[in-house]
Amino acid sequence: MRRTPVAITVLAGLAVGGAVVASTATAAPAVPAKVEVATILPNPPFELRKNGKLTGFDVQLANAAAKAAGIKALEWRVSQNLSAEISAVTLGQVPMAASSLTITPTRQKQMIFSTPYLNADLAVVTAQGKKYGAGGNLTNLTVGALKGSTSATYLKSLPGNVIEVLFPDQTSAYQALLRGSINAVVNDYAQSDWYVLHNNGKFDLPAIINQPGKLAFAFTKDQTNLRNAFNKGLAIVKQNGTLARLKNQWLP
């Protein structure tokens, strides 16, 4: 009877009791050369276009972490909105997402996350000169938030008569604020600060709302190897000062 040959990896020169010992070690999975990443626009200072080129804190951080992890290139795919971006990852259409995503219990059931890289504080934005929202008091106000965001979840948790209005993107929310359709917008602190600073005195930021959440990159549940590679890359860019430099460049 013919026997099927079995390949055995041998540790050269190692024997116990005269018998050759086979190695049980396996090679670590190689990281892919290119990785597709879902994101949303506009989402400054995390994702924006400058001179026609995609840039921002998340974009530069993800590119730096990927390079440190041995990934040659990230291919960025712009989703229509936050809900579509999250669906693209949960359905396995793309392996990864980067757009100032906060780790939440609900999202952890759908995706896996990298090591956190930033606090997920929120802020209140009003039209310039308005006298409300101080201290985060939104009672009896009509307040906008991004659909599917942690800001929307926060508004639902507030006591009092807070009327929540959800928008598909940040631009729509801030336009409604300028029209007077809503009284305030609640958004990520860094994004809120960006809009106040880059809109010629049109907005005020009366309150920062401290939150326990953290921002991280998100991955399809079966992409543990890719997540681990990014964790390695994030550790490197934190140690070599790249993370601190990017925070200083992009964040308040």
Specify whether 217 is located in the same domain as 115: yes
The pLDDT assigned to 159 comes to 86
The pLDDT assigned to 160 comes to 81
Largest pairwise CA distance in the chain: 91
Specify whether 38 is located in the same domain as 107: yes
In a domain, 28, yes or no: no
Specify whether 47 is located in the same domain as 115: yes
In a domain, 183, yes or no: yes
Supply the range of the domain harboring residue 40. 34-119+213-250
Amino acid at 206: P
Burial of 135 (0-12, 13-18, 19+ CB in 10 A): exposed
In a domain, 6, yes or no: no
Shortest CA distance to 153 belongs to which of 141, 142, 140, 166? 166
Specify whether 130 is located in the same domain as 115: no
In a domain, 181, yes or no: yes
Specify whether 173 is located in the same domain as 246: no
In a domain, 231, yes or no: yes
Specify whether 176 is located in the same domain as 60: no
In a domain, 3, yes or no: no
Instruction: Compute the Cα dihedral for 222, 225, 228, 230 and give only its sign.
Output: negative
For the chain, residues with pLDDT lower than 50 are: 1-28
Specify whether 223 is located in the same domain as 110: yes
Beta bridge mates, 79: 40
The pLDDT assigned to 6 comes to 36
Specify whether 65 is located in the same domain as 93: yes
Helical axes 224-239 vs 242-250, angle rounded to 10°: 80
How confident is the model over 141-154, as pLDDT tens digits?
999 999 999 999 99
In a domain, 66, yes or no: yes
In a domain, 50, yes or no: yes
Specify whether 178 is located in the same domain as 226: no
Q: Residue 118 in contact with residue 215, Cβ under 8 Å?
A: yes
CATH of the domain at 70: 3.40.190.10
The pLDDT assigned to 63 comes to 98
**Secondary structure element (H or E) that encloses residue 243, with its range:** helix 242-250
Q: How many domains does the chain have?
A: 2
Specify whether 204 is located in the same domain as 126: yes
CA-CA distance, 35 to 9, in Å (whole number)? 32
Specify whether 169 is located in the same domain as 189: yes
Alpha-carbon Rg for the chain, nearest whole angstrom, is 23
Which stretches does DSSP call E strand in the chain?
10-16, 19-22, 34-40, 48-50, 53-55, 73-79, 96-102, 112-113, 118-119, 122-127, 142-146, 163-167, 184-188, 203-209, 214-219
Specify whether 130 is located in the same domain as 80: no
The pLDDT assigned to 194 comes to 95
